[in-house]
């Protein structure tokens, strides 16, 4: 078995889990100031993701740790090249985590409104920056022969990358609205369903532009190698089917299909990169691959054994958490946040 390929695939799976789970977290956070008409509404919205949001972020930590251990050169170049963007994302996530805990410490409406907008920004900024980062990875970054990023922060803010950021924001908003519909009752349930119906068409438009833009800004559909086109096509079909399910009033299926869209979009990204992990816009010979960016074979062997033991435990625990907190929020149920 080629352990380099295996670990590339495992990191892809970790990012699929992260974007699926944290995607609806970000979506719910961005919807908070707009669907929450009063304090109780906003508490219901926050409580819908309250038991899950911090556990969902563990998928990112695990993906980053796996990247560091399996492909240290990829980790070093990516995190140094996107340093300012990642610091901004980290700051937003810190503010978001603090806001969840602090908003309920004082009943003053100004105090709570401040932290509610912090939750919004702490969800919007990472969603936007993840789209920007993914688009830049597909488009290529100025990486030299020593695997060093030679560009600046504003190199990342090109038109295709900004389109990627908006696409991720829209997709996560739709995903979050559907999750909120499944987790709440009565009026909030109806508001979330209405929001999802309004968000579907703009999301489709942005996803189509992002996909078409990839034909011109990237080489993922034209180069020889692993073909991401089937995953892209299935992602588009899933998103269109989600709209049909929304119109039919079957929000559970719509949520499943938007989750499938997120997962297949991530598959498209990793399939389009493979066997590269970072594309050099300066010289194709300076591309970083799963082989020239990897750790030693012994390190990969040890990591494989550790992952085989602990990954199933983590999956079982997180699945149990969702089962325990499966009841809808609202009605006479006591709110924690």
The three-state secondary structure class of 290 is: coil
Cβ within 8 Å of residue 283, ≥6 positions away: 145
Question: What's the token pair of residue 149?
Answer: 């990023």
Rounded to whole angstroms, how far apart are CA atoms 104 and 262?
32
Do residues 178 and 25 lie in contact, with contact meaning Cβ atoms separated by under 8 Å? no
Question: What's the token pair of residue 111?
Answer: 């105090």
DSSP 151: -
**To 10 degrees, the CA torsion angle through 256, 260, 261, 264?**
180
In the numeric block, the tokens 């180069």 are attached to 223
Per-residue pLDDT of the chain (337 residues; tens, 9 = 90+): 699 999 999 999 999 999 999 999 999 999 999 999 999 999 999 999 988 888 888 898 899 999 999 999 999 999 888 888 889 999 999 999 999 989 988 889 999 999 999 999 999 999 999 999 999 999 999 999 999 998 888 888 899 999 999 999 999 999 999 999 999 988 999 999 999 999 999 999 999 999 999 999 999 998 877 889 999 999 999 999 999 999 999 999 999 999 999 999 999 999 999 999 999 999 999 999 999 999 999 999 999 999 899 888 888 988 898 898 888 887 665 676 6
* Of the candidates 178, 167, 179, the residue with the CA atom closest to the CA atom of residue 235: 167
What is residue 333's predicted lDDT score, i.e. its pLDDT?
Answer: 59
Q: For the chain, give the number of residues.
A: 337
CB atoms within 10 A of CB 44: 26
Cβ within 8 Å of residue 323, ≥6 positions away: none
* Of the candidates 333, 315, 316, 334, the residue with the CA atom closest to the CA atom of residue 14: 315
What is residue 331's predicted lDDT score, i.e. its pLDDT?
Answer: 66
Do residues 250 and 263 lie in contact, with contact meaning Cβ atoms separated by under 8 Å? no
Rounded to whole angstroms, how far apart are CA atoms 64 and 310?
16
Do residues 139 and 158 lie in contact, with contact meaning Cβ atoms separated by under 8 Å? yes
Question: Read out DSSP for 87-108?
Answer: HHHHHHHHHHHHHHHHGGG---
DSSP 80: H
| Phi, then psi, of 145 in degrees rounded to 5 | -70, -15
Rounded to whole angstroms, how far apart are CA atoms 242 and 227?
25
CB atoms within 10 A of CB 201: 12
Please give the radius of gyration of the chain, using alpha carbons only, rounded to the nearest integer.
20
What is residue 334's predicted lDDT score, i.e. its pLDDT?
Answer: 60
- CA–centroid distance for 303 within its chain: 24
Cβ within 8 Å of residue 112, ≥6 positions away: 39, 42, 103, 104, 106
In the numeric block, the tokens 């702490």 are attached to 122
């Amino acid at each position: 078995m080629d352990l380099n390929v295996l670990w590339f695939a495992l990191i892809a799976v970790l990012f699929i889990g992260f974007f699926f789970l944290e995607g609806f977290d970000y979506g719910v956070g961005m919807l908070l100031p707009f669907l929450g008409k009063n304090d109780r509404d906003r508490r219901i919205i926050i409580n819908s993701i309250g038991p899950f949001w911090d556990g969902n972020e563990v998928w990112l930590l695990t993906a980053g740790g796996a990247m560091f251990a399996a492909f240290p050169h990829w980790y070093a170049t990516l995190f140094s090249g996107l340093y300012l963007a990642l610091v901004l994302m980290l700051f937003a996530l810190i503010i978001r985590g603090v806001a969840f805990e602090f908003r309920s410490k004082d009943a003053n409406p100004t105090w709570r409104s401040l932290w509610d907008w912090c939750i919004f920004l702490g969800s919007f900024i990472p969603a936007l920056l993840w789209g920007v980062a993914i688009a830049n990875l597909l488009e290529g970054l100025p990486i030299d022969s020593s695997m060093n990023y030679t560009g600046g922060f504003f190199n990342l803010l090109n038109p295709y990358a900004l389109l990627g950021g908006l696409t991720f924001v829209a997709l996560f908003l739709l995903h979050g609205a559907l999750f909120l519909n499944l987790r709440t009752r009565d009026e909030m349930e109806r508001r979330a369903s209405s929001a999802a119906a309004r968000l579907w068409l703009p999301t489709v438009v942005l996803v189509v532009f992002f996909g078409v833009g990839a034909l011109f800004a990237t080489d993922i559909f034209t180069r020889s190698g692993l073909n991401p086109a089937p995953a892209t096509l299935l992602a588009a079909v899933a998103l269109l089917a989600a709209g049909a399910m929304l119109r039919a009033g079957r929000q559970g299926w719509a949520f499943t299909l938007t989750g499938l869209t997120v997962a297949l979009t991530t598959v498209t990204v990793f399939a389009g990169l493979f066997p590269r992990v970072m594309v050099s816009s300066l010289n194709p010979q300076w591309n970083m691959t799963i082989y020239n960016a990897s750790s030693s074979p012994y390190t990969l062997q040890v990591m494989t054994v550790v992952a085989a033991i602990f990954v199933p435990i983590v999956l079982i625990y997180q699945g149990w958490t969702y089962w325990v907190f499966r009841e809808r929020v609202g009605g006479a149920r006591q709110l924690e946040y």
